[in-house]
Amino acid sequence: AVTVTSLTIVEPQQLSLFGQWVVLILIQIGGLGFVTFAVVSAITLGHRMSLRQQTLALEAFNQTSTARLRSTAVSVLRITVVIEVAAMLLLFLWWWGSGRMPAAQALYNAVFHAITAFNNAGYSLFEGSLQAFVSDTATIGILSIVVILGGLGFPVVVDVIRKRRWSGLQPYVRLMIISGLTLHIAAFLAFWLLEAHNPRTLGALAWADQARAAWMQSVSMRTAGFSTFDMSAIDDSTALLAAVLMFIGGGSMSTAGGIKLGTFVVIMAAVFAFVTQRREVVLMHRTLAPEMVQKSLAVVVVTVLTAVFALLLLTVLEDVAFISLLLEVMAALSTAGLSQALTHQLSTASQCVLLVLMFMGRVGPLTLVYSLATRNRARTRIRYPEMEFQVG
């Protein structure tokens, strides 16, 4: 729960009311991040932050000045409260007003799902997650929007609120919005196309229900963890696409996991620059610093190596289809939590591997960036001669 990964061996609806609230609180803390709470607590209690703590907070909040740490942390909390309360009210009014649930049940379910959706946790109190809501446009619409807002990244949401005009947004913010929507739409069409003829998933639904189910699945696959059809029945091609989407994840400084969308965009821009024989990596008419490309490459390589090693362990420990183990590994490492209902069937050793992956997925990229940011920057007069090295 604290890594906002919905891989479970006990379903949330099986827990007591007290247990469900414990899970909900852990999801909220894990989604916002310990850095946010640490900064707000230090400011509130009047404690001074050490230089090391300030450096960590700057990297976590993607800021360059310690003077903006307070405003950024407070903005994160305010945005979270506003979005979650708005989603809760909309879900409550719809579920109660439409007669789907009694008032008390509708309110509790609305609170639970608003928090889990915004924090991209994917925990659901409904049997089969959201499979019963594929005909409910309002529920699918509200939850998908909340998941997208949680996965965009707080810097993007803050800039949109402050500028309110497309031309006034920072190039990074515009790029994240464009690339995020492009990825969602492409995934939506791909899911629909690949599963439309599968009678065990979308094939048995009317075309409108297929569209809603495919849209919600394309959104939640980027680390939200909700499901609108049986993931254990999907084709291998769909499973591979799901693994790729989980690997990419959401935006930087968001409640989502993965290598982050920004990292993926930078790597693609670097590849394009090399193929077109361009010396600089350019995005939105801005040149990216070489250190940014190196950080992105380091995040991708470390994540891939971690996933490959964990997958190797699981293939040794389990006699399960490879594609199912791949989904399990990516679901844990990207904190997506969307697998083929395999977690509770795995051995204790394999579950321990997944536990490690979930923690690494939540704090790994941040730890990597922090270690790179605080490396010894002392310049030396020694320069080594260049060497010829064959690659590609």
Element containing residue 287 per DSSP (H, E): strand 286-287
pLDDT in tens, 37-60: 655 555 555 556 666 666 666 655
Residues whose CB is less than 8 angstroms from the CB of residue 165 and which lie 6 or more positions away in sequence, other chains included? none
- Please report which confidence band the pLDDT of residue 315 belongs to, taking 50, 70 and 90 as the band edges: very high
pTM value is 0.87
171 neighbors 285 (Cβ within 8 angstroms): yes
283 φ, ψ (degrees, to nearest 5): -140, 130
On the 0-12 / 13-18 / 19+ scale of CB atoms within 10 A, 174 is middle
pLDDT in tens, 245-291: 999 998 887 888 889 899 999 999 999 999 998 889 999 889 999 88
pLDDT at 374 over 60: no
Mean pLDDT of the chain: 86
- Please report which confidence band the pLDDT of residue 313 belongs to, taking 50, 70 and 90 as the band edges: very high
Classify the phi-psi angles of 167: left when phi > 0, otherwise alpha if psi is within -120 to 50, otherwise beta. Answer: alpha
248 neighbors 258 (Cβ within 8 angstroms): yes
Higher pLDDT, 246 or 167: 246
pLDDT in tens, 181-240: 999 999 999 999 999 999 999 998 999 999 999 999 999 988 788 999 888 899 999 999
Average pLDDT over residues 60-76: 64
Average pLDDT over residues 326-339: 91
91 neighbors 124 (Cβ within 8 angstroms): no
pLDDT in tens, 113-158: 999 999 999 899 998 889 999 999 999 999 999 999 998 888 888 8
DSSP letter for each residue of 80-144: HHHHHHHHHHHHHHHHHHTTSS-HHHHHHHHHHHHHHHHTT----SSTTTTGGGTT-HHHHHHHH
For 118-122, 174-178, 314-318, 363-367, which range has the lowest pLDDT when averaged over its residues? 363-367
Q: Check residue 40 and give its pLDDT.
A: 59
> Looking at this protein, which amino acid is placed at residue 34?
F
Q: Check residue 308 and give its pLDDT.
A: 95
Average pLDDT over residues 335-351: 90
Average pLDDT over residues 66-84: 78
On the 0-12 / 13-18 / 19+ scale of CB atoms within 10 A, 320 is middle
287 φ, ψ (degrees, to nearest 5): -90, 135
Radius of gyration for the alpha carbons in the chain, expressed in angstroms and rounded: 21
**CA atoms of 39 and 53, how far apart (whole Å):** 9
On the 0-12 / 13-18 / 19+ scale of CB atoms within 10 A, 378 is exposed
pLDDT at 5 over 80: yes
Name the token pair of 194: 């690949």
